[in-house]
Amino acid sequence: MNILDGKILAAKIREELAAAVEEIKAEGGKIPHLAAVLVGEDPASQVYVRNKVRSCEKIGFKSTLIRRPADVSEDELLGIVEELNQDEDIDGFIVQLPLPEHIDENRVTLAIQPGKDVDGFHPVNFGRMAQGLPAYIPATPNGILEMLKRYEIETAGKEVVVVGRSNIVGMPMGILMALKAYPGNATVTICHSRTRDLAEHTRRADIVIAAIGRPNFITADMLKEGVVIVDVGINRVDDEDAPRGYRLVGDVDFDSAATKASWITPVPGGVGQLTVVSLLMNTLKASRGEVY
């Protein structure tokens, strides 16, 4: 069993991004600029956005954080989006999800200019991705692709089972793994909450990508020998012995699955480490005009 180490890989990519910034500075070019809009006080969102801002600072990107209270009106938020669309110094920006219930997330996403949609959630980017055209790929799927590529995991002709069908992870991963590319060229099955006999599908898989949001859901008896496991899940489970009273686990029962796996991502320290750096990779592309 080998570890797909997201922490080591993320550090390497940050070094590469920092080197790219130094090269831009030496040539007198424009420093990449990422903006983030944070609405409300959701703890997970605050941590995620804070990590994005810190990552920008560490590699030399410019960053802007725009905060608004949870009761901000939809019209005011859409006004902020339009200002960022028109700001020529901003290369890309994100509106952190989830948003308060009184705001239509789809309306906000559609208002973002596709050329600045470094989260890759706009339907234009999703459609371009599905057709294999240059696009901003959502951060988590992009991070998974980078991990498979850099660890030289073979995907062509392999049976890939994606567990989960969200627009953020499951659906884009299914599309990406089927494209004529590397990583890709796989035979893909997307499973979800309505799938009958999930284990029948996962036992056939050469690669399992788990993004269902259920702690320790996939166990060794659901896997075949030599499987590659990419665990996207990050779940809190109570643990009185842990310093904070809980610990983080994935959607895959790591200890049992590791007895079958040839490669496996840990939680924490796996896919999650690559989400922020993937967003920075998209921002660098935006600053260079590599997509639009």
Return the higher-pLDDT residue of 49 and 116: 116
* Active-site entry in 117, 119, 206, 251: 119
Residue 199 domain flag = yes
Domain residues for the domain of 88 are 28-113
Q: Is 166 annotated as ligand-binding? A: yes
Q: Is 73 annotated as ligand-binding? A: no
Q: How many domains is the chain partitioned into structurally?
A: 2
Total-model pTM = 0.94
- Active-site residue 119, yes or no? yes
Residues 262 and 167 in one domain: yes
Share the mean pLDDT of the chain: 95
Dump pLDDT digits (tens) for 181-205: 999 999 999 999 899 999 999 999 9
* Percent of the chain residues past pLDDT 90, beyond the cut: 88
CATH of the domain at 264: 3.40.50.720
CATH of the domain at 57: 3.40.50.10860
pLDDT band at 43 (very low <50, low <70, confident <90, very high): confident
Q: Is 67 annotated as ligand-binding? A: no
Q: What is the structure's pLDDT at 83?
A: 98
Q: Is 196 annotated as ligand-binding? A: no
Q: What tokens appear for 57 in the block?
A: 């600072």
Residues 90 and 164 in one domain: no
* Active-site entry in 62, 96, 206, 285: 96
d(CA 183, CA 201): 21
Q: Average pLDDT for residues 79-106, to the nearest whole number? A: 96
- Active-site residue 52, yes or no? yes
d(CA 244, CA 127): 42
Rg over alpha carbons for the chain, rounded to the nearest Å, is 19
Q: What tokens appear for 76 in the block?
A: 């005011």
Residues 251 and 145 in one domain: yes
- Active-site residue 86, yes or no? no
